[in-house]
Each structure stands twice: as C-alpha cells, then as structure tokens.
Amino acid sequence: MDPMLLKAVIALAPVLVCLMVFERVDAFRLIGLREIGLLLLGGGLLAAASYVANGSVLDQFPLRQTSYSQWVAPVVEESLKAVLLIGLFAYNRIGYLIDAAIAGFTVGAGFSVAENIFYLHEFAHATLSVWLVRGFGTAIMHGGAAAIFTVLSQVLYTPRLRLDADRFHFNILLFLPGLAAAIALHAGFNHFTDAPIEAMAVVLLAVPLGLFVIFSLGERYAHRRLAENREAHGKLLEDIDSGAFADTNNGRALKALGERMGPEGERDLFDYVHLHTDLVVRAETSLLAMEVHEATAFRDDVRERFHQLHALERRLGMSPVMAVRQHLHFSRNDLWEMHELESHAPKKA
C-alpha cells in the first residue's frame, strides 16, 4: 500500500469506524445518516474555526507550543464544539442519552477528521507512529470529549425536559459541568506528550467502553420512560374520545377558552386537542417499535395528520396552542418525540 494512503487510513478510519459501530448499536436509530453527515460537516467546520481561533490567541498571548496545547487549546476547541451541541439542545433535537452521546461523538469525529486531513497535508513526512497516535488516540479523544459534554448536559437537562413545555427555561449554566469535563479529558490527554502510546491506549479503551455503558443504561431508561408516557398519553386520548376529559379541570378550562373563540374556533381547538394527543401517542408507539426494528410502526396518514396539525396551529394562533399544551401537560420531551415521528414519517409518492 502507498505509504501516504496508509497514513491517511490510520489517521481517519478509526474514529469513523467507531462512529459506524455506535450508530448501529443505537436500538432507536434516533440520529439518521443525514443528521450524522451534517454533524460531521459541522465538526469539520469547527476544526477550521479552531485553527483560526488558536492562531489568534497565540498571536495575542505568545506561549510555548507545548504549554498552549496542554492548557489553552482544549478550552478553545471544546468550547467551539460545545456551541454547536448547545444549539441542538436549544432547538430540542436531543431527547435521550443515546442520541446525546452519538451527536457529541459525531461532532468530535468530524472535528478530528478535518484536523487530521489538514495535518496530513502539512506533515506528510511524519512517521506512522505519529498517525497511529493521532488516529487511534487524538481522534477518539475528540469524539469522546464531545460525547462527555452532551451526555452530562443531557443528564442535567433531563429533569427540565419532563416539565410542561410552557414551564421550560433554557439555562446555559447547566452546560458548564459538561464543558469542564470535556476540557479536562482533552487537557489530560495533551499532557501525556512523553507517553503518547500509553495515552492512546487509555483513550482507545475508555471512550468506547464508556459509551457502550451509556448506550446500555440509556436504552433501558428510554424504554421505561417511553412505555410510561405511552400508557399515560394513551389513557388521556381515551378520556378525550369518551368525553371524560371534558369533566376534568383542564377539560373545562379548554372548553371555556373554546367558547370565547366562537363555534368555529372551539371546533378547531378541540380538533387540535385530539390530533395533538393522537400524534404524541403515535410518536411514542413508533419509537418503541423502532427499538425492536419494526418498520411497520408508521401509518400512511401520519404526514397528512401533521399537515392538519400545523394548519390548525396557524388558524388558532400561539396563545391557544400554548394553552392546549399547558392543560394537556405535554413536556418538551413529548414535543421532541413528535418531531422524531414527523421526521421519520414516510413521504407520499
């Protein structure tokens, strides 16, 4: 094999192979190939941004290269990765520990691939041992550090995700522990300049093992929460259909709201109540089916139902929509489940 090609394979393949394995281990398939591709691209763009940022910092505060890589670079690079991942949390694109870990590792993988491509160009004559450490050590470290950030952030955010959606408040401070842990892993790895093989071996063992443990725990937790939520929301849908919900405090409050909106508005409001609840139940049923790889979970009318839902939201306006979510006690996690259902729903031919 051509020596340069061998170096490229060693530098780039390990982290991508790990990513492929992690994606297959995810029983729920919460992050599709399109999302993985976008996150890889985002990580690569962050690597380019870090090159510029690191150069700017070095220009302002000249330091020895070793000192900079040990103390400053981890802060700059992990903070940049965190910006993209915080965006996923802000837009409610992460629901469980499993997809948090995969999203983080994917961004770190994209970062490391772009970084190693640059170094392959700049240091083409470096020995195979250098690329061995960069491919099996540095690249895996980048993925692991970003995964640690998202997992810890998800753990801290989980209690808030269970709250009613209208009570959710985005708190940037909850991301600081995860960022500190990511920086610590990155800085710790960079401190082993005199023992790179040992550092590589520790990272290569600890990161995949740790993520497999997270996948195992996260899958059990996700299954339990989904089963509990589907049962509760299924009972709510039965009560709505039977009329029992109308006799509850929440039902009476929505009825009073509907009466103030006039006959047409009241009809739209209760159509929205039923459709929203139905789609939440379908979302939870579909995610549980995806866990056991049942492709028959989706109905042909799912996408049409979402079209109807969004049309009703436009007609009703923001305040009635928020009132429905408040009185039905839909959480931010429930809304994420609906997004997953909509994004996976089959398109009409």
DSSP string, 92-119: T---SHHHHHHHHHHHHHHHHHHHHHHH
> How many other β-carbons are positioned within 10 Å of the β-carbon of residue 11?
27
CA–CA dist 171, 292 (Å, integer): 35
What's the confidence (pLDDT) of residue 347? Answer: 66
What's the confidence (pLDDT) of residue 230? Answer: 95
Sequence letter at residue 312: L
Report which DSSP code applies to 170. -
Residue 140 in this model has a pLDDT that exceeds 80: yes
Residue 296 in this model has a pLDDT that exceeds 80: no
What's the rounded mean pLDDT across residues 214-235?
A: 94
CB within 8 Å of 311: residues ≥ 6 apart: none
What's the rounded mean pLDDT across residues 122-126?
A: 92
Report which DSSP code applies to 166. G
* Per-residue model confidence as pLDDT tens digits over 302-322: 989 999 999 999 999 999 999
**In Å, how far are 8, 51, 84, 119, 130 from 124, measured between CA atoms?**
10, 18, 30, 7, 11
Confidence of residue 160 (pLDDT cuts 50, 70, 90): confident
What's the confidence (pLDDT) of residue 295? Answer: 58
Mean pLDDT, all residues of the chain: 92
What's the confidence (pLDDT) of residue 168? Answer: 83
Residue 244 in this model has a pLDDT that exceeds 70: yes
What's the confidence (pLDDT) of residue 151? Answer: 97
What's the rounded mean pLDDT across residues 120-126?
A: 93
pTM: 0.93
What's the confidence (pLDDT) of residue 161? Answer: 80
Residue 19 in this model has a pLDDT that exceeds 90: yes
What's the confidence (pLDDT) of residue 291? Answer: 82
DSSP 214-250: HHHHHHHHHHHHHHHHHHHHHHHHHHHHHTGGGGSHH
The phi, psi pair for 272, rounded to 5°, reads -70, -40
Residue 278 in this model has a pLDDT that exceeds 60: yes
Confidence of residue 186 (pLDDT cuts 50, 70, 90): very high
What's the confidence (pLDDT) of residue 37? Answer: 97
Using alpha carbons, select from 112, 127, 140 the residue that is nearest to residue 202: 140
In the chain, % of residues over pLDDT 90: 81
Residue 348 in this model has a pLDDT that exceeds 80: no
| Cβ pair 85, 150 in contact under 8 A | yes
> How many other β-carbons are positioned within 10 Å of the β-carbon of residue 134?
27
What's the confidence (pLDDT) of residue 169? Answer: 85
Sequence letter at residue 232: A
Residue 89 in this model has a pLDDT that exceeds 80: yes
What's the confidence (pLDDT) of residue 300? Answer: 62
Report which DSSP code applies to 64. -
Residue 162 in this model has a pLDDT that exceeds 80: no
